[in-house]
Amino acid sequence: PAGICPFKMVLLGESAVGKSSLVLRFVEGKFHEYEVSTIGGAYLTQTVSIGDITVKLELWDTAGREKYHSLAPMYYRGAHAAIVVYDITNADTFSRAKVWVKELQHQAASNIIIALAGNKVDLATTTRQVEVADAQTYAEENGLIFMETSAKTSMNVNDIFMAIARKLPKL
Ligand code: GTP
Ligand code: MG
């Protein structure tokens, strides 16, 4: 219908950090304790309202496993926004997230909005490996939206998607 602007948003990050879980929580309000690892990529949409503007978010959930990395440019090409996800309990996934950010900064649209999600914050008290201050500093240096999230408890899940939606250009 008239007045609905579609925006392309891509999720990137190491396998098992919770990309599909964040999308499932945002779109359907659900969480699976044993989510299936994504093959190739998955596509879902969610419509959100910002003031009196309705925005259709086209969500491209990529597969994190190494053998699918060559497909990533197909998903982030033309994207208006990206969420790069890492798992706060796994420092390697934070390093990998930084590589994705660099790739987006060089290969994606120059005005792409990038958000960094430190997921699985529900596990922070027992198994945290990435300090929130380190991620915060990195995000500020690179002009990224940053939040720690939990697809399990839903903490900050709507908030990170909405923070991006609010920054999208309004047509
Ligand atoms: P690929 O599709 O292989 O790239 O992985 P993914 O990034 O989509 O991860 P997925 O959503 O499949 O989640 C991997 C596992 O982590 C699943 O067993 C989820 O239940 C679990 N998980 C996802 N998000 C959270 C979270 O916020 N907290 C906890 N405790 N577990 C989570
Ligand atoms: Mg997945």
Mutate to test the pocket of ligand 1, among 21, 30, 69, 90 (most ligand atoms within 8 A of CB): 21
ipTM exceeding cut-off 0.90 for this assembly: yes
Rounded distance between C-alpha atoms, residue 16 and residue 19, angstroms: 7
pLDDT at 171: 55
Rounded distance between C-alpha atoms, residue 100 and residue 144, angstroms: 13
Q: Which residues form the pocket of ligand 1, taking CB atoms under 6 Å from any ligand atom?
A: 13, 15-21, 32-35, 37-38, 63-65, 119-120, 122-123, 150-152
Q: Which helix (H) or strand (E) holds 71?
A: none
Rounded distance between C-alpha atoms, residue 117 and residue 61, angstroms: 14
User: pLDDT band for position 169 (50/70/90)?
Assistant: confident
Task: Give this prediction's pTM.
Answer: 0.97
What is the distance of C-alpha 73 from the center of its chain? Answer: 15
Q: Is the pLDDT of residue 1 over 70?
A: no
